Amino acid sequence: MRRWILVTKNKDVLKRFGKNKEINLKVDEKVRYGDNVLIYCPDDRNILYMFKVKKDAFKDKDHYKMILYDKKILKSPISISKNKYNSLIKKSSKRKFLHSVHLCEWSELIASVKKKNPEVLETFEMKGCLGPDKDGFFEKNKPKLIQCIKKIISIDANFLNEEATKYRLVLPLIQNIGWNIYNLRHVQPEYRVGNKNDRLDYLLTDYRHDKTFLEVKSPDKNLASHKCQIIKYCASQNVDLGILTNGLQWIFYNIDYHADQTGAISEVQSDSLDLRTKDPHKAADKFIDVFWGGKTCKKGKTTNRSLDDVINTM
């Protein structure tokens, strides 16, 4: 989903926005179903309304026809005349008046909307990851998980590239946490996000169909320098748990969003784990918390009970 700001001085168009819950417009950009649109009036220097795109725009001669619906009226309009978005709205012309807004700029705009109009937007509840099945992590597998962590620590990771890191460090750990790495419904490699050239290393999908994004780097990389990448990937689909790792260090990002606004980040919180300095038993507990929501089971049929022990193949 993309984010747009529509700039117009046309009084007739503004009246239509005020009177109608749904409106048709001709634009030069091909918007798609679910895209978000802010309506800005240069005369008032305020954002007045918020809409969603009802369906993909279709070509009509030299324009596209756009249908907006789900109108939200900003009783306290948002002034953007004196901030950095002024350069964006100055691009407006008589014909081209719909402009794409970057994720970061959109997040700040929506934060302003929520601050002045709290009744318009709600906040998503962060859900995190609850595992590939509803039963929880099978407790009898915990010794294998601890053994796997110890094995990873013992590996000389200095000469591992990114692909080797995935297969020697990350995937064995994911499997021993209780995720079947051969089941594409739960662990999908090379998942497309955002632009067609953006590929996430692994998409994890829990039993509720909620997504977790996992991005892997080689051990010689500084993970902090890749923070923007994983957050950008998460924001493209409002995924609230993003994980960045080099196999030894793990950083977990919990991302909160403004409801119904794709990519409009409200807050980012992070936690980290370094296998080289953390007690393996406590590290195992941390992984169970992150990948299973802390839920465990002592008996019963679970998908993670019969997973192959991959430690000996590492």
Task: Say if strands 23-27 and 63-79 run parallel, antiparallel, or are unpaired.
Answer: antiparallel
pLDDT at 168: 95
Residue 40 burial (CB count, 10 A): 27
Give the phi and the psi of residue 7 in degrees, each rounded to 5: -110, 125
At residue 236, what is the residue type?
S
At 41-52, the pLDDT tens digits run 877 778 888 898
At 149-161, the pLDDT tens digits run 999 999 998 889 9
pLDDT at 233: 92
Write down the mean pLDDT value for the chain.
84
Alpha-carbon distance values, 110 to 47, 53, 66, 237 (Å): 11, 17, 22, 16
For domain 137-313, give the fold.
tt1808, chain A (3.90.1570)
**Distance between CA 153 and CA 134 in Å, rounded?**
30
* Chain region(s) in the chain for CATH 3.90.1570.30: 137-313
Domain 3-116 bears CATH identifier 3.10.590.10: yes
pLDDT at 314: 47
With 80 as the cut, is the pLDDT of residue 303 above it? no
pLDDT at 122: 62
With 60 as the cut, is the pLDDT of residue 137 above it? yes
Place of tokens 């649109």: 37
**Distance between CA 42 and CA 246 in Å, rounded?**
48
- The pLDDT-based confidence of 114 (bands split at 50, 70, 90) is confident
pLDDT at 226: 94
pLDDT at 251: 95
The answer to whether 302 touches 136, Cβ cutoff 8 Å, is yes
Mean pLDDT in residue range 251-269: 81
pLDDT at 81: 57
- The pLDDT-based confidence of 301 (bands split at 50, 70, 90) is very low
* Chain region(s) in the chain for CATH 3.10.590.10: 3-116
pLDDT at 62: 82
pLDDT at 266: 77
**Residue 235: exposure state from Cβ atoms within 10 A (0-12, 13-18, ≥19):** buried
User: By C-alpha distance, which of 107, 141, 139 is closest to 296?
Assistant: 139
**DSSP secondary structure letters along 148-190:** HHHHHHHS--TT--HHHHIIIIIHHHHHHHT--TT-TTTEEEE
With 80 as the cut, is the pLDDT of residue 67 above it? yes
With 60 as the cut, is the pLDDT of residue 85 above it? no
pTM over 0.95: no
- The pLDDT-based confidence of 127 (bands split at 50, 70, 90) is low
- The pLDDT-based confidence of 123 (bands split at 50, 70, 90) is low
With 50 as the cut, is the pLDDT of residue 310 above it? no
Mean pLDDT in residue range 3-27: 86
